[in-house]
Amino acid sequence: MLYEIVFNFEQLGYFWLLVALLFLLLELSTPGLFFFITFSIGAVFASGAAFLGCSFFVQCITLVTSFLITFFIFRKYLKATEYKRVPTNVDALAGKDGIIVKVITKSDSGLVKVGGEIWSAFSKNGVDILEGQTVKVDSVKGNRLMVK
């Protein structure tokens, strides 16, 4: 009797939906993981099994199975998109052309205009580069460009 008051098996589907909501809220509070969403999806499937009248054991198997399936689907999707990174900000400057605004000497930096912005730059080859010449950005060292 006390067991039925504490835990009513007829209401187990609502319990799994509450668990799904809690995992969804946990997912929203953790940036970029996409880990807890898989538990949430598993709990939704377990609630479906509960509403269909399956036993608690079957519901738990459904939870674990659907969690694992969605986890590996998300993992495969995230691995596939991981390598499609597009360089942004300073990383995107490498390989672009620029025009010298202030002379670059062997021992001193100059200024180069790349994409409408003026950057401090050094000559990668150690040669003087005169004003008005077109150069290519080889790399970025801190906030200075290495040009050739």
Assigned domain for 1 exists: no
Handedness of CA 20, 21, 25, 28 (dihedral sign): positive
pLDDT of the residue at 83: 65
- Give the pLDDT band of residue 85 (cuts 50, 70, 90): low
Same domain for 129 and 72 = no
Task: Identify whether the C-beta of residue 146 lies closer than 8 Å to the C-beta of residue 135.
Answer: no
Same domain for 141 and 96 = yes
pLDDT > 60? residue 4: no
Same domain for 76 and 45 = yes
pLDDT > 60? residue 90: yes
Distance CA 67, CA 73 (A): 10
Assigned domain for 96 exists: yes
pLDDT of the residue at 2: 46
Distance CA 53, CA 108 (A): 79
Residues 6 or more apart whose CB falls under 8 angstroms from that of 140 comprise 90, 91, 93, 94, 146
Name the domain count of the chain: 2
Same domain for 93 and 54 = no
- Give the pLDDT band of residue 6 (cuts 50, 70, 90): low
Same domain for 67 and 19 = yes
Same domain for 73 and 12 = yes
Cα 37-34-88 angle, rounded to 5 deg: 150
Residue-range definition of the domain harbouring residue 123: 89-147
- Mean of pLDDT values over 119-124: 90
- Give the pLDDT band of residue 1 (cuts 50, 70, 90): very low
Same domain for 98 and 73 = no
Task: Identify whether the C-beta of residue 133 lies closer than 8 Å to the C-beta of residue 99.
Answer: yes
Same domain for 103 and 70 = no
Same domain for 32 and 78 = yes
Considering only 28-37, 44-53, 92-101, 127-136, which range has the smallest mean pLDDT? 28-37
- Give the pLDDT band of residue 5 (cuts 50, 70, 90): very low
> DSSP state, 85?
P
Distance CA 52, CA 49 (A): 5
Same domain for 128 and 111 = yes
Task: Identify whether the C-beta of residue 97 lies closer than 8 Å to the C-beta of residue 136.
Answer: yes
Assigned domain for 3 exists: no
pLDDT of the residue at 121: 92
